[in-house]
Amino acid sequence: MSVSFKLDDHQMALQGLARDFALAEIRPVAAQYDKSGEFPWPVVKKAWEVGLSNLSMPEQYGGGGLSGLDSCIVSEELAFGCAGIAAGISITDLACIPIVLAGDEEQKQRYLGEICSTGKMAALCVTEPEAGSDVSAISTTAKKSGDDYVLSGSKCFITNGSVADYYVVFATTDKSMGQKGLCAFVVPRETQGVTVGKKEDKMGQRASDTSEVVFQDVLVPSANRLGAEGQGFKLIMQTFNRSRPAVASSAVGLSRAAMEYSLEYAKTRSQFGMPIIFNQAIMFMLSDMARDIEASRLLAWKAAWLGDMGLDNAKEAAMAKVTAADAAMRITTDAVQIHGGYGYIKDYPVEKLMRDAKVLQIYEGTSQIQKLLIMRSMLK
Ligand SMILES: Cc1cc2nc3c(=O)[nH]c(=O)nc-3n(C[C@H](O)[C@H](O)[C@H](O)COP(=O)(O)OP(=O)(O)OC[C@H]3O[C@@H](n4cnc5c(N)ncnc54)[C@H](O)[C@@H]3O)c2cc1C
């Protein structure tokens, strides 16, 4: 397939649908959910009704069947509305990537089919108190017991943790084997021994749910294991290669919102007898924003496109994630600066954007970890 920067009719329709939804359904309630920290159920349900959920799941199970690139386009628009609410809408799709990649036909029909047809939610459970960047240090155990496994351990910082119906859980069958001991399981929330712990009170993206999930002697049938034993680490990395371009695109959407608010403000705010936009210092901040947004979007699209072509995109996915996340932090910080004192006040939207941007440098692998991954690819 040749490279084109022109979106086709289907992609433009999708972009329009997501942008209209962001402006009509997300933006008007973004500040309210940021303040309350409640989960935005009405918006998430509506997104499912209009077909903006489960977009990358295959069509035969009721998903949108979208390519990685198409998902980036939607992701940017939803985060343009509010990155926290966008996470609530799209994390189920992300959490189910291991099922799409490693699930057998029966598992796909059962889990993806049910999630797509009912709007049920899922969460991806990787991180633990002692295993963050170092995924191979996971210590949630999966002990074989006849035809079942017994899962025990605690997961922290889990997006959708307290609202999910299904958990995709990474655990170790043998901790001494490090990354070679990992494997993944689908665990329904109602299974005995599963409890939702503390819901985190966050700096930003407060509409998204982030909670602890505890598994205590949870009996899981072997039929719920995704792929073979020992394949878990590879599966997490493959999952991140698919999810990072979309996360980068959400950073682009958030950055675009910050740039638009800043441009508008700079044109209307006057000091020293003229709009502040006529100061070169302000112009340069705005032009840097536009440049960073364009560069981040192109990296995200390229990383997604490589994945869609079935090519290795580990390096490009990491490049897109770190570039877009770091750009979002710079852009939102400058947006507050352009707004002066008003930018620091909650009545204006940019202080929320700055808080929302920070976690983009942390989740789905920190910016430092993305740089390590890029370097590792260069050394290959
Ligand atoms: C809002 C939110 C939502 C999240 N959602 C999910 C989710 O849905 N599912 C899930 O499993 N996890 C989730 N996470 C967890 C997230 O992926 C981790 O927080 C992240 O991977 C970092 O792990 P850590 O917090 O333990 O930090 P650590 O790994 O302890 O890192 C601390 C610092 O050290 C740096 N560092 C660590 N190792 C190195 C190294 N080798 N070289 C250089 N620097 C290094 C890091 O970059 C960071 O700056 C979420 C986190 C947050 C805050």
The residue assigned the tokens 């496994």 is: 149
- In a shared domain, residues 260 and 210: no
User: Which CATH number goes with the domain that contains 111?
Assistant: 1.10.540.10
The answer to whether position 216 is within a domain reads: yes
Calpha distance 74→62 (Å, rounded): 18
Share of the chain above pLDDT 90, in %: 98
What atom in ligand 1 is closest to the CA of residue 123?
8
pLDDT (tens digit per residue) in 290-311: 999 999 999 999 999 999 999 9
Number of domains in the chain: 3
Say how many Å lie between the CA of residue 267 and the centre of ligand 1: 39
The answer to whether position 245 is within a domain reads: yes
Question: Mean pLDDT over residues 89-93, rounded?
Answer: 98
DSSP 149-179: EEEEEEEEEEETTTT-SEEEEEEES-GGGGG
- In a shared domain, residues 197 and 89: no
Say how many Å lie between the CA of residue 135 and the centre of ligand 1: 10
What atom in ligand 1 is closest to the CA of residue 208?
1
The answer to whether position 132 is within a domain reads: yes
- Residue 201, C-beta contacts closer than 8 angstroms, at least 6 positions apart: 37
Confidence of residue 380 (pLDDT cuts 50, 70, 90): confident
Least confident of 1-10, 195-204, 366-375: 1-10
- Residue 107, C-beta contacts closer than 8 angstroms, at least 6 positions apart: 99, 186, 223, 224, 226
User: Which CATH number goes with the domain that contains 352?
Assistant: 1.20.140.10
Say how many Å lie between the CA of residue 119 and the centre of ligand 1: 29
DSSP letter (8 states) at residue 24: I
- In a shared domain, residues 77 and 135: no
Say how many Å lie between the CA of residue 133 and the centre of ligand 1: 5
- In a shared domain, residues 50 and 171: no
Arithmetic mean of pLDDT over the chain: 97
Say how many Å lie between the CA of residue 327 and the centre of ligand 1: 19
The answer to whether position 2 is within a domain reads: no
pLDDT (tens digit per residue) in 110-134: 999 999 999 999 999 999 999 999 9
Nearest CA owner, ligand 1 atom 43: 368
pLDDT (tens digit per residue) in 133-151: 999 999 999 999 999 999 9
Q: Is the pLDDT of residue 9 over 70?
A: yes
* Confidence at residue 91, expressed as pLDDT on a 0 to 100 scale: 98
The answer to whether position 259 is within a domain reads: yes
Share of the chain above pLDDT 70, in %: 100
- In a shared domain, residues 36 and 72: yes
pLDDT (tens digit per residue) in 151-205: 999 999 999 999 999 999 999 999 999 999 999 999 999 999 999 999 999 999 9
Across 160-190, b (16+ Cβ under 10 Å) vs e yields bbbbbbbbbbbbbbeeeeebbbbbbbbbbbe
Calpha distance 121→88 (Å, rounded): 9
| Catalytic site residue from 128, 212, 229, 364 | 364
85, 102, 118 - which closes a domain: 118
- In a shared domain, residues 192 and 175: yes
What atom in ligand 1 is closest to the CA of residue 368?
47
Question: Mean pLDDT over residues 235-243, rounded?
Answer: 98
The answer to whether position 4 is within a domain reads: no
Question: Mean pLDDT over residues 305-333, rounded?
Answer: 98
Say how many Å lie between the CA of residue 128 and the centre of ligand 1: 10
Nearest CA owner, ligand 1 atom 26: 132
Q: Is the pLDDT of residue 270 over 90?
A: yes
- In a shared domain, residues 298 and 357: yes
Query: Is 59 considered catalytic here?
Result: no
Confidence of residue 2 (pLDDT cuts 50, 70, 90): confident
Nearest CA owner, ligand 1 atom 6: 158
Nearest CA owner, ligand 1 atom 32: 133
DSSP 235-301: HHHHHHHHHHHHHHHHHHHHHHHHHHHHHHHHHH-EETTEEGGGSHHHHHHHHHHHHHHHHHHHHHH
- In a shared domain, residues 226 and 158: yes
Q: The domain containing residue 161 runs over which residues?
A: 122-230
- In a shared domain, residues 271 and 371: yes
Q: Which residues line ligand 1 (CB under 6 A)?
A: 123-127, 132-133, 157-159, 202, 205, 210, 359, 362-363, 365-366, 368-369, 372
What atom in ligand 1 is closest to the CA of residue 155?
11
Question: Mean pLDDT over residues 243-247, rounded?
Answer: 98
- In a shared domain, residues 30 and 166: no
The answer to whether position 3 is within a domain reads: no
- In a shared domain, residues 274 and 365: yes
Question: Mean pLDDT over residues 304-328, rounded?
Answer: 98
Choose one of 362, 370, 374, 375 to mutate for the ligand 1 pocket test, by most ligand atoms within 8 angstroms of C-beta: 362
Calpha distance 186→221 (Å, rounded): 9
95, 118, 141 - which closes a domain: 118
118, 146, 171 - which closes a domain: 118
User: Which CATH number goes with the domain that contains 189?
Assistant: 2.40.110.10
3-class DSSP state of 59:
helix
- In a shared domain, residues 126 and 113: no
The answer to whether position 356 is within a domain reads: yes
Cβ(244)–Cβ(317) below 8 Å:
yes
Q: Where are the beta strands (DSSP E) in the chain?
A: 122-125, 141-145, 148-159, 166-172, 182-188, 194-199, 210-221, 225-226, 270-271, 274-275
* Confidence at residue 1, expressed as pLDDT on a 0 to 100 scale: 57
* Confidence at residue 3, expressed as pLDDT on a 0 to 100 scale: 79
What atom in ligand 1 is closest to the CA of residue 126?
11
Confidence of residue 5 (pLDDT cuts 50, 70, 90): confident
Q: Is the pLDDT of residue 277 over 70?
A: yes
